[in-house]
């Protein structure tokens, strides 16, 4: 058996189980978006990089409200979450040109949720045959870019897309002209 040493994960492994705080609630309150890997902040939800990604571009959409069941999520937050899923798909397709997109949510520890007490949606790009021998045999992920690079690229792409889905407001002079023509 081969060993890949990952000492940077030790703090996460040892502190996660004994810490009653929620990593997602703590992340929301951090002031520096870069150190918290925050890509976008919405009204009810935020988008951040997964610190231990399956592939580059692996993000999570997380409601600010600490809830353990999807059915408890207020309708406005659920709508924003799904809207952010659509927006994230567009961002990932523009940046990574994947063959497909995985979108998923594990509700509860038995379902595989790493953070069972706070619901969150995973969104990540996928390619045909992206589970290569390193992942399958060696249980090791190979990522083509650093989290820093992924964060910068995704944040920039989200910034370009700020008004997606919203009708553009016409300038006041255009409104007056249209109103005058109707008279």
Catalytic residue annotation: 120
Chain centre distance of CA 68: 18
Q: Give strand pairing partners of 38.
A: 48
Tell me the two tokens of residue 85. 């899923």
Q: CA dihedral defined by 19, 57, 124, 72, rounded to 10 degrees?
A: 40
Q: Distance between CA atoms of 24 and 114, rounded to whole angstroms?
A: 11
Q: Are 87 and 154 in contact, with CB atoms under 8 Å apart?
A: no
């Amino acid at each position: 058996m081969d060993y890949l040493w990952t000492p940077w994960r030790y703090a996460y492994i040892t502190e996660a189980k004994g810490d009653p705080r929620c990593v997602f609630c703590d992340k929301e309150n951090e002031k520096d978006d870069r150190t918290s890997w925050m890509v976008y902040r919405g009204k009810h939800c935020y988008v951040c990089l997964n610190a231990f990604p399956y592939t580059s571009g692996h993000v999570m959409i997380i409601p600010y409200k600490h809830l353990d069941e999807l059915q408890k999520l207020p309708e406005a937050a659920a709508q924003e979450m799904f809207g952010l899923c659509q927006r994230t798909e567009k961002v990932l397709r523009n940046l990574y040109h994947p063959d497909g997109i995985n979108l998923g949510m594990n509700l509860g520890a038995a379902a595989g949720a790493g953070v069972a007490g706070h619901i969150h949606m995973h969104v990540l790009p996928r390619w045909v045959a992206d589970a290569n021998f390193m992942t399958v045999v060696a249980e090791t992920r190979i990522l083509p870019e650093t989290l820093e690079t992924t964060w910068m690229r995704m944040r920039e792409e989200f910034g370009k897309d700020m008004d997606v889905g919203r009708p553009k407001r016409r300038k006041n002079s255009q409104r007056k002209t249209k109103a005058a023509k109707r008279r």
